């Protein structure tokens, strides 16, 4: 979830490897998309914020919601059909993610398991790896976490110090990862580790490994955060964790391209968490502004209330469009770095603004838990920082899109 710098190249897979080629952005929603959105919204609203915060408070995974979605195949819509997925694309998974959040159930694990790990395995896994792990992601029966962030490397993922060295015909992993989401509910973790260093640039050569969540030598420590979501964050300690050769995903030392095939979906799905929460917040705010009368008229009559909500709605719709574009570009197999970064940035800002204005519209009730707004604050605020911070997106756009000199 840390970011790479502007120098990084995105590996574009041959078109033949992209399961579903999408070459245009559907501006008018298709019947299929509408049906998908309605079906997911119907399941999610049956659970809603009550369920979401009940499991969060109890420290339990949202198993019932996850299973209800998995049963209908919605958690693997982007996974190839031959691996028990829906055979569609990230565009459809993004629709699923947004509808969940719009119903008050923003699931972080949907970003990690089908979007990051599923996308990487689909594009870079061997037939055996797909059979072993992607199949479970496609059906929703297996969940995977993703570990790139380290305490010392920060946003500069070239500097990660978790090392995988060859031994006994496989690899031995040693190092520390932090803020890794959902490990408590995951069968395995896709870990980014250093397998060498480029002599010329000094940058780490990266490789990806699937590690069982209960592998000997892997310890974890809960990192408490303000984010109110069922998924917990963990510090992971790899103390000579042995993995077999067949746990290496993609080519050794050339994991950077494969990582990007997961980081762009992560940014896009992160964006959907924000646009979904924004929709949820504006829906509640509009209803409240119509019902709440203080000086004899509904507060929504006052432009001081109506205009900021209208502005938030405009910002939201632009962010949604950008997010859909990013997903469509990703599905097409074309480089998706710029649209994914722009979408994440726009959606985080739209989400924060919409939720903040919804809270303001509710007056004191905005912070009353009963009104179901304040609890989402840290989830949406998180997306300004993660999976890639707003500053690193601005660096990317300044340097890559505008051609300005690198600032660091």
Ligand X SMILES: Cc1cc2nc3c(=O)[nH]c(=O)nc-3n(C[C@H](O)[C@H](O)[C@H](O)COP(=O)(O)OP(=O)(O)OC[C@H]3O[C@@H](n4cnc5c(N)ncnc54)[C@H](O)[C@@H]3O)c2cc1C
The answer to the question of residue 162 lying near ligand X (CB under 6 A) is no
Instruction: Map the footprint of ligand X across residues 86-115, applying CB under 6 A.
Output: 112
- 3-class DSSP assignment, residue 240: strand
180: exposed, middle or buried (Cβ count in 10 Å: 0-12, 13-18, 19+): buried
Report yes or no: 333 and 15 within 8 Å, Cβ to Cβ: yes
- Identify which of residues 101 and 386 has a Cβ nearer to ligand X in the complex: 386
48 by Cβ neighbours in 10 Å (0-12 / 13-18 / 19+) ranks as: middle
Do the Cβ atoms of 147 and 189 come closer than 8 Å? yes
How many chain residues touch ligand X (CB under 6 A)? 26
Residue 386 lies near ligand X (rule: CB under 6 A): yes
SS3 call for 335: coil
CB of 396 to ligand X, least distance (A): 10
Among 268, 346, 382, 383, contact with ligand X (rule: CB under 6 A): 382
CB 172 within 8 A of CB 220: no
Among 82, 141, 391, 399, binds ligand X (CB under 6 A): 391
Task: Return the residues of window 253-312 that contact ligand X according to CB under 6 A.
Answer: none
Rounded to a whole number of angstroms, the minimum distance from the CB of residue 42 to ligand X is: 29
Binding part of the chain for ligand X, among 48-56, 308-316, 333-341, 389-397 by CB under 6 A, reads: 389-397
Under rule CB under 6 A, which residues in 135-154 are in contact with ligand X?
A: 146-149, 154
Using rule CB under 6 A, residue 201 touches ligand X = no
Binding marks (x or -) toward ligand X, 342..381, rule CB under 6 A?
A: ----------------------------------------
Backbone angles phi, psi at 243, to 5 degrees: -130, 150
Nearer to ligand X, 162 or 357 (CB): 162
The burial of 152, by beta-carbon neighbours within 10 Å (0-12 exposed, 13-18 middle, 19 or more buried), is given as: exposed
Inter-axis angle of helices 377-385 and 337-361, to 10 degrees?
150
Helix axes 255-291, 337-361, angle to 10 degrees: 20
Restricting to residues 215-234, name those near ligand X by CB under 6 A: 225, 227, 233
The residue ranges that bind ligand X (CB under 6 A) are 1-3, 112, 146-149, 154-155, 179-181, 225, 227, 233, 382, 385-389, 391-392, 395, 408
């Amino acid at each position: 979830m840390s970011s790479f710098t502007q120098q990084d190249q995105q590996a574009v897979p041959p078109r033949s490897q992209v399961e579903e080629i999408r070459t245009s952005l559907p501006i008018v929603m298709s019947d299929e998309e509408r049906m998908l959105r309605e079906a997911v919204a119907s399941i999610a609203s049956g659970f809603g914020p009550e369920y979401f915060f009940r499991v969060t408070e109890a420290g339990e995974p949202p198993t019932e919601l996850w299973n209800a979605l998995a049963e209908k195949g919605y958690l693997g819509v982007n996974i190839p059909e031959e691996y028990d997925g829906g055979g569609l694309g990230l565009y459809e998974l993004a629709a699923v993610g947004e509808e969940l959040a719009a119903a008050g159930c923003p699931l972080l694990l949907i970003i990690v398991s089908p979007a990051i790990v599923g996308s990487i395995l689909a594009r870079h896994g061997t037939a055996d790896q797909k059979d072993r792990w992607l199949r479970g992601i496609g059906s929703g029966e297996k969940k995977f976490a993703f570990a790139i962030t380290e305490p010392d490397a920060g946003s500069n993922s070239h500097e990660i110090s978790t090392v995988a060295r060859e031994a006994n015909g496989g690899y031995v992993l040693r190092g520390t990862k932090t803020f890794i989401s959902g490990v408590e509910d995951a069968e395995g973790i896709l870990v980014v580790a250093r397998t060498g260093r480029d002599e010329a640039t000094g940058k780490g050569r990266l490789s990806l490994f699937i590690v069982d969540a209960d592998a000997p030598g892997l310890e974890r420590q809960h990192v408490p955060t303000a984010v109110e979501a069922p998924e917990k964050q963990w510090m992971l300690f790899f103390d000579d964790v042995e993995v077999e050769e067949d746990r290496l995903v993609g080519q050794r030392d050339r994991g950077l391209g494969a990582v990007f095939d997961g980081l762009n979906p992560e940014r896009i799905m992160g964006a959907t968490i924000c646009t979904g929460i924004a929709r949820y917040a504006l829906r509640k705010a509009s209803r409240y502004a119509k019902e709440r009368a203080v000086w004899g008229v509904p507060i929504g009559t006052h432009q001081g209330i109506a205009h900021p909500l209208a502005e938030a709605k405009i910002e939201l719709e632009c962010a949604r469009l950008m997010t859909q574009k990013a997903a469509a570009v990703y599905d097409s197999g074309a480089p998706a770095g710029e649209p994914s970064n722009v979408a994440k940035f726009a959606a985080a800002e739209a989400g924060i603004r919409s939720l903040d204005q919804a809270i303001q519209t509710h007056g004191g009730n905005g912070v009353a838990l009963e009104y179901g707004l304040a609890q989402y604050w840290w989830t949406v605020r998180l997306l300004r920082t993660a999976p890639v911070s707003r500053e690193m997106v601005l660096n990317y756009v300044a340097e890559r899109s505008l051609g300005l000199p690198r600032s660091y």
